[in-house]
Chain A
């Protein structure tokens, strides 16, 4: 599955809202939508590490890195490139 789709599916799977037809946009600021709880942030870090094989360390804790599907995908890509040289 494409990276963006995997990220989007993961986030949508953690949104609690009554509208089953809600569709996340890749540019949506996910933490500002108000549908995600505080535990999600740590789960997202775990998801990124597990699914994409990159380590998220303290230097990566820039809120922007995790703020939208687009930014998460860009962050993962950057980490992969850095890891693989």
Chain B
């Protein structure tokens, strides 16, 4: 079988697995707020915790397009299970693959693929969300490596993960200059250079749960992805050895964390397609069986309008994700922006389609007896995680202002 055939059969296997083993239990996971360990073990048995990892690290070797289609199948069944794959395989796994030292890859990737080590990504903090480069969790040199202290919030699977990829900034040293006075790395002045105030170094660390000083507490009452074990965490003077630095010191933002967020955005984009597709199918199913005024509700033009819009938007979102996937596979430099567009659009579509699916269900749509109520809650989460819709708009506006601006020497941009 060729590579495309192998990928196709993996996606088909994921579809069957998701429909049989996950979808029937998704409402229960949501109610209990727990993704049971046996589900994680089943995913691991099929290598579904590492679909995007190279085969040599125990993964399935799916390319970005196939990985996206795989993600859609899992996400259609359960947003929290998809969230595990987003965090574990994309945010953590892909970042280790891109910037990990060979010893780090050897140590973590195979264990992640086997499910013996679950990874989580610790970036957000009580006071730091979108402004990711300004994390307050601090590190300093000490104990033969680093000492990490601070609080993290909204950490998916923080409660159950075996290790964390933690983003921290260099502790403030009162003796150190915090602004760059036109100086290079050796402190020599660079004549004529134009600079702005310099930020503290941001670095990324791999931190094992068993280290002393790590506390995790589940955040109760989440709107959606309730089985994603979203947690608040505290790192109290946690000693981290030198070999656990991921990437070079000071390269945490934008390089290492930026890579993680880019991969996270791609996975969440497909999560949006997944929720939209699930909501569309639920809407179609309900409209075909529900009768009012003596006829099926799918015969009413206003309901047909909702369905027509839903299928169009869902297909459009999938097309954007496929394009982003192809560009990622081909190493296209603008894949970053296409991915951001896909994430922005697909998460907006997910909420619109889920909202219309609730509307088509009427009162039933507001009840936990029907899955659209859950889809609606889950869709809202997608507009916020891995960069809010407004952050995507901001980045995409920059992209458009560059790409579609025709420079005319001697003029200025209007407005």
Contact = CB atoms under 8 A, between A and B. Distances in A.
A61 B402 contact: no
B339 to A, nearest CB: 10
Given A25-B193, A43-B333, 11 more contacts: A21-B409, A27-B192, A28-B194, A29-B180, A29-B193, A32-B180, A34-B196, A39-B254, A39-B340, A58-B248, A61-B256
Interface string A59-70: 111111000100
- Interface-central residue, A16, A20, A38, by most chain B CB under 10 Å: A38
A21 B410 contact: yes
Given A42-B336, A43-B333, A33 B190 contact: no
B203 to A, nearest CB: 10
Given A16-B401, A29-B195, A63 B251 contact: yes
Contacts of A37: 395, 398
A68 B255 contact: no
A41 interface: yes
A42 B192 CA distance: 27
Interface in B381-415: 395, 398-399, 401-402, 407-413
A19 B412 contact: yes
Contact of A63 (B132, B250, B337): B250
B198 interface: yes
A61 B413 contact: no
A39 B333 contact: no
5 shortest A-B CB distances, which residue pairs?
A: A61-B251, A38-B254, A41-B254, A61-B248, A32-B195
B258 interface: yes
Interface string B243-258: 0001110110111101
A7 to B, nearest CB: 14
A62 B409 contact: no
Contact of B413 (A18, A57, A59, A68): A18
- Interface-central residue, A32, A39, A60, by most chain B CB under 10 Å: A39
12 contacts: A18-B413, A38-B133, A38-B253, A38-B258, A39-B262, A39-B336, A58-B99, A58-B247, A58-B248, A61-B99, A61-B247, A63-B251
